[in-house]
Structure 1
Amino acid sequence: MPFARLASATTPTCHIGLGLAAVGRPGYINLGRERDLPAVRSVEALRERTHQLLDAAYAQGVRYIDAARSYGRAEEFLADWLGAHPDLDDLVVGSKWGYTYTANWRTDAERHEVKDHSVATYERQRAETAALLGDRLDLYQIHSLTSDSPALTDNALHAELAEAAAQGVTIGFSTSGPAQADAIRAALAVTVDGAPLFHAVQSTYNVLETSAAPALAEAHDAGLTVIVKEGMANGRLADPVAPDAVKAVAEETSLGSDAVALAFVLRQPWVSVVLSGAATTGQLASNLHATVADLTEDRLARLDALAEDPRAYWERRARLPWQ
């Protein structure tokens, strides 16, 4: 299992991964992108930014990198960087299939990605990922699995995923939406020839959206690696817009609100990796301070009190503009 490399790593920052959603394409729904990215978001400008982040992340102990077919050219940028660093055998690389990027490098596209969990999409995107990442791919996930997804009941798809697993790729899934717990529990029940199909799950969990916690704890107990995405709630937990309670804890600990938000995630005993979605090396450095945040029981309780109704959280997220 590739995540055993993280379990044996010696640096605390190995439990923070770098997600490339924010830098693999010019448009995304994170707040503050107008400040974070170059004025001209050309392919080459974002390739350079991605490589800067990867350099900084690895130098500071990050050992998990997360991409997806729908993250614009994220896999391509990552493949270029890996090609220039062929000896990094302690790095774990994950990607996802199930969404197709359709924005054509525009921020004002009517649709930025299209979801399809069919066998045909898997076969096409698996070939595309293989062409770029080859045997550097450790984890391949179904992107945004929901409890009504055909991927949960498609035996032909399960057979192909099991074949990839037999070839050494760990198979996982990610979740989104107010019913993440339902999707996680449904996926835990999927087997091929009596053996569990999935060995990793990646879900949204943060100070504002905690509803998946019990199901993620169950996944951890079942032996899955648990990866947390959107720990910063798409920028809602970063300065200067973070809730006052987060800012207060940040001031008490002499850290940024971002580090406090990610530290809250890392304190959960079922978490293996939390993703940084940094778009600048400065943001990444601040995010990595999460490993030293002193979150006392009182501070955790104050953060716990910020949890929102999951439906309200996801409705607000759906209104965030691509920018």
Structure 2
Amino acid sequence: MPFARLAAATTPTAHLGLGLAAVGRPGYINLGRETDLPADRSVDALRERTFELLDAAHAQGVRYFDAARSYGRSEEFLAGWLAARPDAVDVVVGSKWGYTYTADWRTDAEAHEVKDHGLATYERQRAETAELLGARLDLYQIHSVTPDSPALTDKELHARLAEAASRGLTVGFSTSGPAQAEAVRAALAVTVDGEPLFRTVQSTYNVLETSVAPALAEAHEAGLTVIVKEGVANGRLAGAHAPDVLRAVAEETGLGPDAVALALVLRQPWAGVVLSGAATVNQLASNLHAAVVDLDDGQTARLAALAEEPAEYWDRRGRLPWH
């Protein structure tokens, strides 16, 4: 499996990855976006920003990069960077299908993405991804599986995913929403010819939203690589937006609230890869300090008290505006 390259890596940041949701398109829901990105959010400007982030991440030992069909031009940008950096043969590349980007490079679009987990969407988007990333694609994930997703019951889709896996592609899924744990457990039960279909799971887990943790532990025990997204809760756990308790613990460590928030995720025994969603090189550098944060039991307990009810967390996330 390609993730063996991460497991065998010795750099402190090998288990931190970089997600491209924040820089593959001009609009997203992260807080502080109005100052994170340049006033010029043209395709060329965001391509340049993406290259800067990928260069900085790779130079600092990051080896997993995560894109999606719905992240605007993230696959295109990543493919261009890989072509320009022949030394980056050691990276693991993941992408996702199941959402179609519909904002037409606008921040004020009525709908930024449309979800469809049907077989026709998989076939169309698999071809689109293959055209851009080709053999560099290691992992292809179903984007944001929920318990009612048809991707959990569509046997023809399962057969096509298993066929892709037989040719060397790692097949996984991501989850979102207050029922993440239920979705993870349902996906773990999906088999083809008696064998588990999925080899990775990517879920939202952070100091505010911890409800999926038991299910991710079960996935890890079953042999799946667990990837954690939204470790800083779309900016709610970074900078001035961070809760007072988190900022106090950060002061005690001498590092940023974002680094502390990601460090809390990294210390989970089931966490294989923890994503940074940085939009600037400085944010990335701060995020990567998570690898050296040492939290004691008292600090961990103080942070654990910040956890919200899943419905509350996801309701608030759903109300974040696209910037």
TM tier, shorter chain? over 0.9
Structure 2: distance between partners of 1:281 and 1:83: 21
Structure 2: distance between partners of 1:3 and 1:72: 25
The TM-score normalised by the length of structure 1 is 1.00
Name the counterpart of 1:223: 223
Which letter maps to 2:190? V
Structure 2: distance between partners of 1:272 and 1:241: 27
Q: How does 1:226-305 map to 2 (within 5 A)?
A: 226-305=226-305
* Partner SS state of residue 24, structure 2: coil
Which letter maps to 2:202? Q
Name the counterpart of 2:97: 97
C-alpha deviation, 1:86, in angstroms: 2.5
* Partner SS state of residue 109, structure 2: coil
Q: How does 1:145-160 map to 2 (within 5 A)?
A: 145-160=145-160
C-alpha deviation, 1:241, in angstroms: 1.1
Structure 2: distance between partners of 1:256 and 1:4: 30
Structure 1: distance between partners of 2:257 and 2:87: 35
Which letter maps to 2:293? A
* Partner SS state of residue 49, structure 1: helix
Structure 1: distance between partners of 2:320 and 2:89: 38
Name the counterpart of 1:308: 308
Q: How does 1:47-126 map to 2 (within 5 A)?
A: 47-126=47-126
* 1:194 lines up with 2:194 in the alignment: yes
* Partner SS state of residue 240, structure 1: helix
In the TM superposition, structure 1's runs of 4+ consecutive aligned residues that sit over 3 Å from their partners are: none
Deviations, residues 265-285 of structure 1 (Å, cap 9, x unaligned): 001000001100000000000
Name the counterpart of 2:28: 28
C-alpha deviation, 1:89, in angstroms: 2.1
Structure 1: distance between partners of 2:245 and 2:220: 29
The TM-score normalised by the length of structure 2 is 1.00
Structure 1: distance between partners of 2:193 and 2:7: 29
Structure 2: distance between partners of 1:94 and 1:196: 19
Structure 1: distance between partners of 2:95 and 2:163: 17
Structure 1: distance between partners of 2:87 and 2:289: 27
* Partner SS state of residue 322, structure 2: coil
Deviations, residues 81-108 of structure 1 (Å, cap 9, x unaligned): 0001123221000000000000000000
Structure 2: distance between partners of 1:156 and 1:293: 46
